[in-house]
Structure 1
Amino acid sequence: MPVHTSQGSQGNRGRGVGLGLALVSAVAFGGSGVAAKPLIEAGLDPLHVVWLRVTGAALAMLPLAVRHRALLRQRPALLAGFGLLGVAGVQACYFAAISRIPVGVALLVEYLAPALVLGWVRFVQRRPVTRAAALGVVLAVGGLACVVEVWSGLSFDAIGLVLALGAACCQVGYFVLSDQGSDAGDEAPDPLGVIAYGLLVGALVLTVIARPWTMDWSVLGGSADMNGTSVLAALLLGWIVLIATVVAYGTGVLSVRRLSPQVAGVVACLEAVIATILAWVLLGEHLSAPQIVGGSVVLLGAFIAQSSAPAKPSDGPVASGGSDLERELSAHGTAA
C-alpha cells in the first residue's frame, strides 16, 4: 500500500540520517585528542586545556541550559554526577593521559569502560550477564594486554596508563548514572539539557581544580607544532570546543534517537579507530603490529559487550534492570 511504502521510505531515510550523524559524532570525538596534544606540548597544562574545552562548550550550550532549567529542580543529583564524572572526570583523565602516552593507546584503554560496567552489573549489583558479554570482557582485557605490551614490562608511562584507566572508570560512573533514569519513560530528562548542565557543572568544578588564572594565556595567541607543521593554537582550540564537544555531543544524541542503541554503538567504535589513524597521520604516533591487533581485539570485545542481549529477557525485574544498563553501553561513543 502507498502509505506503508511511504512510511518505510521515511524510516530508511531516518536511519540513513542517523548513521551519518553517528559517523560525524565519532569523527568529532576522535579528533579531540589530536587537537589537544599539540596545545599541551606547546606549554598548556592538560587541566587548562580541559577547562578551556568544557567552559567554551558550556557557554555555547547555555541557551539549552536556560530552556531546560527545570532539570535543576527535578534531577540535581543526575546533573551533578554527570558533570563530575561524565564531563570533568573523563576529560581531565583523558587529556592528562595523552600528555604522557599516545592518543590511540589512551582511547583504547578508555574503551575498557563497557567491560568494567559489566563487571559492576555482575559483581556489585549481582545481576546476570550473557555469556557473549563475558566473552567481550575477556577479549577486551586480552586486547588491552597487547596494546600496552605487557611482555615488555609496560613500556608505556605507568602514570599515563593509570590516568587512562581513570577515564574508563569515570565512564562507568556515567553509565551507572544514566541507568538511574532509564525507567522514567516520558518523564526522562532531556539528554541535551543534561549535557548542557553537565558541561556547566564540569566547568565550575574544573575552575576550582585547574585555576585558569594561572594559565599561560599567551600560548593561545601563538602556534602549536603538529608533527612538524605549525598550526594556530586558536584554531586547535576552536576545533576542540565547537567540533569535538558541541557538535560531537549534539550529533551523538540525535543519532541515538534515530538508530537502535546497538547500531549506534557499532558506529561509535569507529571513534577509537579514527583517533588512532588521525594520531598516526597528524602526530606521527605509530603503533606496532601487536598493538594494532590488540586494539582490534579491544574494539571487538567492546562491540560484543555492547551488542549482547540479556540471556533471559523474561526473568522479571532483575533481568530487566540488567538489560537497561547493557543498553546504555551501546551508546558509549555517542552518548558518553
Structure 2
Amino acid sequence: MQASSGKSAGLAIALVSAFAFGGSGVAAKPLIEAGLDPLHVVWLRVAGAALIMLPLAWRHRDLVRRKPALLLGFGLLAVAGVQAFYFASISRIPVGVALLVEYLGPALVLGWIRFVQRRPVTRAAALGVVLAVTGLACVVEVWAGLGFDVLGLLLALGAACCQACYFILSDHGGDGEDRADPLGVIAYGLLVGAGVLTVVARPWGMDFSVLGGEVGMGGTRVPAWLLLAWVVLLATVLAYITGVVSVRKLSPQVAGVVACLEAVVATVLAWVLLREHLSLPQILGGALVLVGAFIAQSQAPKAPSSGPVASGPGRKPSRPPEPAGPLAEPIEAPVVATANAADEDAAEGELSAGRAGT
C-alpha cells in the first residue's frame, strides 16, 4: 500500500512538472514576438531562476565539496546542454523535427538502464516510449516541415542525449547521509547553466526596455514582467524541483515518458491562451502520448537479481533478493535539463503549438 501511495504521489508530481515545463513556451512566445531574442529569453529564464535559488545554493554549499561532478554535470548537460543543442539544431532543421528527435531522450534512458546498468526494462515501459514518441510526432506535425540535414539531426540528437542525462542524473545522488539534496543540486545546476548561457547568449546586447512594457498574448495586452515571472517561477523553478522529485519517486524511464506530456500541455495552452489552431492529428497525437505515459507507469521493472551469495564456509547460500515492487521505487540519484528547460521555450515559441525552447 505504501509503495502504491508513493507511486501515485510521484506520478502526480511528474504531471505538475510536465504542466510547469509545458507552459514555458506560451509565456515566452509573446516576449519573443515583442522583440527579445529567443536565446535572451532562455538566459533570463535560467539566470532568474538561479538568482531565486541562490539562498538554497548557500545553504547546501557542502555539495560543492561532496558532489562537484554531479553539480557540474547537471548544469552543463541538464540545464545548458539541452538548450544549446536544441537552439543550434532548429537553426538548421524544422522545429517539429528537432523537438521529436530531442524527445528520443526517454528511449535513450531505457537503453542506458538496459545495456549500461544491465537492469531489466519492462515491456510496458518500452511500449510506452514507442507510443509517446509516435504521438509526439503527430502533436508537432513532423511531416509538415520534414527535411534532412545531417548536422542538424546530430545537434538535435545531442539535445536528446542531454535530456536523457537530466533524468539519469536526477536519479543519482548517493545513499543515506551521503545523498545529495535535490534542491541543492537544482540550485547549483542553474548557477552553472546560467554561467554557460551568459557566454552563449551575450545578454549585454539585449533590449531590456521590452520588459518594462506590455506585450500581446492572444489578443490581450499583458505586462512583460508578468510573463517573465511565469517563465522563471513556474516554468523553471517549480518545473525543475518537481521534475527531480518525481524521478526519485518513480524512475528515470517512467518520468521520461510522462515528460512527453509537456509538448501536449504546450499545444493545448497555446490553443487556449494564444488562440493557435489545433488539428485533428494533434488531438489524436496528444491522446496517444497520454496512453503511452499511462502504460509506462502501470508496471514496474524487476530489480536485478544478484544471485545466491555464500555466507561463509559450509553455509548455505542466502536467498536472492525479492523483486522490487512497482516502478515507484527510485534508483537513487539527482537530476538536471529537461526536461528540459530553455530549449522548450524556443520550440514552443516557433512551433505553432509547441514549446519555445529544458
* TM-score normalised by structure 2 residue count: 0.71
User: Offset at 1:296?
Assistant: 2.5
Aligned counterparts of 2:221 and 2:88: Cα–Cα separation in 1: 23
Taking structure 1 as reference, are residues 312 and 244 closer, same or farther at Cα in structure 2, changes over 3 Å only?
closer
Instruction: Give 1:240-259 correspondences, 5 Å limit.
Output: 240-252=231-243
Instruction: Give 1:178-193 correspondences, 5 Å limit.
Output: 178-181=170-173, 184-193=175-184
Instruction: Give 1:100-179 correspondences, 5 Å limit.
Output: 110-123=102-115, 127-149=119-141, 154=146, 166-179=158-171
Aligned counterparts of 1:140 and 1:17: Cα–Cα separation in 2: 21
Partner of 2:21: 29
- Report the secondary structure of 1:114's partner residue: helix
Partner of 1:51: 43
Partners of 1:57 and 1:242 within 8 A in 2: yes
User: Offset at 1:83?
Assistant: 0.5
Which shifted more, 68-77 or 326-335? 326-335
Partner of 1:3: none
- Structure 1 position 274 matched with structure 2 position 265: yes
Aligned counterparts of 1:98 and 1:232: Cα–Cα separation in 2: 28
User: Offset at 1:40?
Assistant: 1.3
User: Offset at 1:124?
Assistant: 5.0
Partner of 1:67: 59
- Report the secondary structure of 2:121's partner residue: coil
Work out which of the residue numbers 284, 288, 300 in structure 2 matches 1:297: 288
Taking structure 1 as reference, are residues 146 and 252 closer, same or farther at Cα in structure 2, changes over 3 Å only?
closer
Work out which of the residue numbers 204, 217, 223 in structure 2 matches 1:226: 217
Taking structure 1 as reference, are residues 38 and 173 closer, same or farther at Cα in structure 2, changes over 3 Å only?
same
Which shifted more, 129-138 or 41-50? 129-138
Aligned AA (2:178): E
Which shifted more, 154-163 or 236-245? 154-163
Partner of 2:276: 285
Aligned AA (1:42): A
Which shifted more, 280-289 or 149-158? 149-158
Paired residue total:
320
Work out which of the residue numbers 176, 200, 203 in structure 1 matches 2:194: 203
Identity among equivalent pairs (%): 71
Taking structure 1 as reference, are residues 295 and 241 closer, same or farther at Cα in structure 2, changes over 3 Å only?
same
Taking structure 1 as reference, are residues 177 and 167 closer, same or farther at Cα in structure 2, changes over 3 Å only?
same
Aligned counterparts of 2:335 and 2:64: Cα–Cα separation in 1: 27
Taking structure 1 as reference, are residues 130 and 159 closer, same or farther at Cα in structure 2, changes over 3 Å only?
same
Work out which of the residue numbers 31, 40, 58 in structure 2 matches 1:39: 31
Partners of 1:83 and 1:197 within 8 A in 2: yes
Taking structure 1 as reference, are residues 18 and 175 closer, same or farther at Cα in structure 2, changes over 3 Å only?
closer
| Residues 266-297 of structure 1 deviation map (CA, whole Å, 9 limit, x = unaligned) | 97665444322111111223232122222322
Partner of 1:85: 77
Aligned counterparts of 1:297 and 1:146: Cα–Cα separation in 2: 9
- Report the secondary structure of 2:169's partner residue: helix
Taking structure 1 as reference, are residues 76 and 312 closer, same or farther at Cα in structure 2, changes over 3 Å only?
closer
Aligned counterparts of 1:117 and 1:268: Cα–Cα separation in 2: 12
Partners of 1:25 and 1:334 within 8 A in 2: no
Aligned AA (1:207): T
Aligned AA (2:209): S
Partners of 2:171 and 2:251 within 8 A in 1: no
| Residues 234-285 of structure 1 deviation map (CA, whole Å, 9 limit, x = unaligned) | 111111112222233345556777x6569x9497665444322111111223
Partners of 2:250 and 2:330 within 8 A in 1: no
Aligned counterparts of 2:122 and 2:10: Cα–Cα separation in 1: 28
Taking structure 1 as reference, are residues 315 and 129 closer, same or farther at Cα in structure 2, changes over 3 Å only?
farther
Aligned AA (2:224): A
User: Offset at 1:138?
Assistant: 2.6
Aligned counterparts of 2:45 and 2:212: Cα–Cα separation in 1: 16
Which shifted more, 280-289 or 211-220? 280-289
Taking structure 1 as reference, are residues 151 and 102 closer, same or farther at Cα in structure 2, changes over 3 Å only?
closer
User: Offset at 1:106?
Assistant: 7.6
User: Offset at 1:230?
Assistant: 2.1
| Residues 33-87 of structure 1 deviation map (CA, whole Å, 9 limit, x = unaligned) | 1101111122211111111111111111111101111111111111011011211
Could you list the runs of 5+ residues in structure 1 that have no partner in the other structure? 1-7
- Report the secondary structure of 2:170's partner residue: helix
Could you list the runs of 5+ residues in structure 2 that have no partner in the other structure? 308-319, 342-357
Aligned counterparts of 2:334 and 2:172: Cα–Cα separation in 1: 14
Cα RMSD, aligned residues only: 4.4
